[in-house]
Amino acid sequence: MEKVIFLGDSITAWNNYPNVKNYGVPGFCSRDVLWLLEDREDIKGDTVVLMVGVNDILGDIPSEKIFNNLLKIIEILKERFKKIILISVLPTMYKDKNKKIKNLNFLLRNQMFVEKLMIHNLFLNEEGIIDNKYSADGVHLSPEGYKLLNKKIKKILEG
């Protein structure tokens, strides 16, 4: 059976993905995932799903710094996994933060050697913020938000 690992923040941690090893940790930023990978060489498998960056944005870390951390993470993951799936940073209820998220997702879109699940826009409402039906608090996902996220993850994992 294929070994699938999830890496990320609370959005990853709070989801009950079946048949995966979940290394999602609430509060994790990109640097935390990088430190985890540098510290834990046993984190490896067939497929890794990476979703991190919103806490960096909320903490006012510049997009370029987050992007550079993600490039370092991807370099480590390329050595340990056959398949890397990078999920775009999801929107929040904060318009100013969403501009930074959009910029970061633009930078991520052009990454080679990884499969990208660019689903940011699916969670937006007409005002350009995360739709209330998909969010519990303006940042974290609601059950309906997880349903949409899981549908998209399942599709890419099975495809």
Say if residue 18's pLDDT is above 90. Answer: no
CA distance 112 to 114: 6
Q: What six digits make up the tokens of 33? A: 């995932």
CA distance 9 to 54: 8
Please give the single-letter amino acid code of residue 95: K
**DSSP sequence for 104-154:** HHHHHHT-SSSEEE--GGGGB-TTSSB-GGGBSSSSSBPHHHHHHHHHHHH
Q: What is the dihedral of CA 147, 52, 121, 130, to 10 degrees?
A: 70
DSSP state of 33: H
Residue 1: pLDDT band (50, 70, 90) is low
Domain ranges of the chain: 4-154
Fold topology of 4-154: Rossmann fold (3.40.50)
Say if residue 112's pLDDT is above 80. Answer: no
The CA-based angle 5-73-85, given to 5 degrees, is 45
pLDDT for the residue 16: 73
**Residue 130: left (phi > 0), alpha (psi -120 to 50), or beta?**
beta
Residue 114: pLDDT band (50, 70, 90) is confident
pLDDT for the residue 97: 97
CA 59 from chain centre, in angstroms, equals: 16
